[in-house]
Structure 1
Amino acid sequence: MRANRKLWAAATVCVAVVAGVTGCSTGDDKAADPFAGLTADAIADKAVDTTKAATAFRMNGAGKTDGEEMTVDFAVDDKGNCKGTMQAPKGGKAEMLATGGNSYMKGDDAFWKSSGGEEGASSDESDSMSALLKGRWMKMPAGAGEDEDNFCDLKKIVKDMDEETPRKGLTREADADVDGKPAAVLTKKDKGESTTFYVAKDSAKPYILRVVTTGGDDPGTVTLSEFDKPVTVTAPPKGDVVDMEELMKGAS
Structure 2
Amino acid sequence: MAYRRMFRAATVVCAAVMAGTVPAGGRAVADSPVTDVRVRPVAAASSPTPSPSPDPFKGLSADQIADRAVSATQSATSLRMAGRVTSDDQPLDVDFSLNDKQECSGRMKIKGGAAELRQMDKITYMKGDERFWRVSMTSQGVPERQIDATIELLKGRWLKITPGQAGSRDLSGVCDLKALLADMGKDKDKDKDKDERGELTRGPDAKVDGTPVATLVNKKPGDGTTTVSVSQKGKPYILKMVKADGDEPGTMVLSDFDKPVKVVVPPADETVDLSKLDQGTRT
TM-score range (shorter-chain normalised) is 0.7 to 0.9
| Superposed displacement of residue 116, structure 1 | 2.8
Closer/same/farther in 2, CA of residues 217 and 232 from structure 1, 3 Å limit? same
Is the 2:225–2:245 contact (alpha carbons within 8 Å) kept by the matching residues of 1?
A: yes
Closer/same/farther in 2, CA of residues 196 and 234 from structure 1, 3 Å limit? same
Higher-strand-fraction structure: 1
Q: In the alignment, which residue of structure 1 is the partner of 2:16? A: none
- If you compute each CA radius of gyration, which structure gives the higher value, 1 or 2? 1
In the alignment of these two chains, the number of paired residues is: 221
Q: In the alignment, which residue of structure 2 is the partner of 1:242? A: 272
Is the 1:117–1:129 contact (alpha carbons within 8 Å) kept by the matching residues of 2?
A: no
Which aligned pairs between 1:183-198 and structure 2 lie closer than 5 A?
Answer: 183-192=213-222, 193-198=224-229
Q: In the alignment, which residue of structure 2 is the partner of 1:201? A: 232
Determine if the alignment matches structure 1 residue 48 to structure 2 residue 70. Answer: yes
Closer/same/farther in 2, CA of residues 118 and 186 from structure 1, 3 Å limit? closer
**SS of alignment partner, residue 93 of structure 2:** strand
Give 5+ residue unaligned stretches, structure 1. Answer: 1-28
Provide the rounded CA distance (Å) in 1 between the counterparts of 2:91 and 2:52.
41
Determine if the alignment matches structure 1 residue 154 to structure 2 residue 184. Answer: no
Provide the rounded CA distance (Å) in 1 between the counterparts of 2:185 and 2:236.
15
| Superposed displacement of residue 159, structure 1 | 3.1
Determine if the alignment matches structure 1 residue 107 to structure 2 residue 128. Answer: yes
Determine if the alignment matches structure 1 residue 78 to structure 2 residue 106. Answer: no
AA matched with 1:101: K
**TM-score, normalising length: structure 2:** 0.72
Provide the rounded CA distance (Å) in 2 between the counterparts of 1:237 and 1:216.
43
Give 5+ residue unaligned stretches, structure 2. Answer: 1-50, 191-196
Select which of 75, 78, 89 maps to 1:67: 89
AA matched with 1:153: D
Closer/same/farther in 2, CA of residues 205 and 165 from structure 1, 3 Å limit? farther
Identity %: 44
Select which of 176, 180, 205 maps to 1:175: 205
Provide the rounded CA distance (Å) in 2 between the counterparts of 1:62 and 1:91.
13
| Superposed displacement of residue 156, structure 1 | 2.5
Is the 2:80–2:255 contact (alpha carbons within 8 Å) kept by the matching residues of 1?
A: yes
